[in-house]
Chains A and B, each alone.
Chain A
Amino acid sequence: MTVHNLYIFDRNGVCLHYSEWNRKKQASISKEEEYKLMYGMLFSIRSFVSKMSPVDMKDGFLSFQTSKYKLHYYETPTGLKIVMNTDLGVNNMRETLHQIYSSIFVEYVVKNPLCSLNQPIQSELFHAKLDSFIRGLPFFSARAG
């Protein structure tokens, strides 16, 4: 099992953070374009899911999977979006993504007054904590490196 990469978007679609661990295939476009494409898709899925749902939903869009990978999605009521791609073996990630929000993003970005909340996160501390958290996950394969 493995974790491929992770995106954090703010409520306006700005990509606050991107990191990758085991990504064998890169998109053929610039990172900026990739973020926009990703956000656009998420935005569309959100509205698609809410319009198509035959019943009232509690959590909305949670994840999708293809033949090769699974995309996990978590959104806070403030509109912060955490997106993580893993392989297919990883089950429900809600708890983990909430933990990234509450014990890493809130602790090292929101509580750092020098970190602006609507532009890419510069904090080294945040990057380090996030990286070690992901590497410590039980399904983060040691060989993935």
Chain B
Amino acid sequence: MSRQSNRGTESKKMNSELFTLTYGALVTQLCKDYENDEDVNKQLDKMGYNIGVRLIEDFLARSNVGRCHDFRETADVIAKVAFKMYLGITPSITNWSPAGDEFSLILENNPLVDFVELPDNHSSLIYSNLLCGVLRGALEMVQMAVDVKFTQDTLKGDSVTEIRMRFIRRIEDNLPAGEE
């Protein structure tokens, strides 16, 4: 709107339709390039991972969030700070496993799918699978190995979109090889 508003990097806002439509074009192209949906899902996850690996640095630089001490704190930061910052939504956190190593992010409205209707011949396509890769890549960079997958999707007739996150292990840092 106003030209002055994009002075600082933190207040830079972009029309989210451009992002949504660009993402749609990417998925469309991948569906043309690959024979089956499984391969498309895999590519989306891989691209997301590569984005996440870099996005985490931007996130940490901008938010000044320190290291998280448990998975609950991580969940809070992801839902309330990161999703808010990059997608403008705040998913709710539910379904904690008793051990506290698994939870779900419930997205009421997924901004990636604003204009999408999934045709019948793409029933196994996980349209927003890029997000899983992003989450996995970003968390890997802060020493957390996690498993991320969609368990419900409004595109497939579910009432909400659910991303399930499972903590696998903490990645220890080692001295580089060949050190005396």
Contact = CB atoms under 8 A, between A and B. Distances in A.
Contacts of B142: 77-78
Chain B contact residues (Cβ within 8 angstroms of A): what range?
Answer: 20 to 34
Contact of B54 (A102, A103, A117): A117
Contacts of A11: 141, 173
B179 interface: yes
Contacts of B56: 78
B54 A40 contact: no
Interface string B158-180: 00000000000000010110010
A43 interface: yes
B54 A77 contact: no
Chain A contact residues (Cβ within 8 angstroms of B): what range?
Answer: 20 to 34
B3 interface: no
Interface in A130-144: none
B12 interface: no
Given A11-B173, A77-B67, A78-B141, A36 B57 contact: no
Interface string A66-110: 000000000011111000000000000000001001110111001
Interface of A: 11-14, 36, 39-40, 43, 58, 76-80, 98, 101-103, 105-107, 110-111, 117
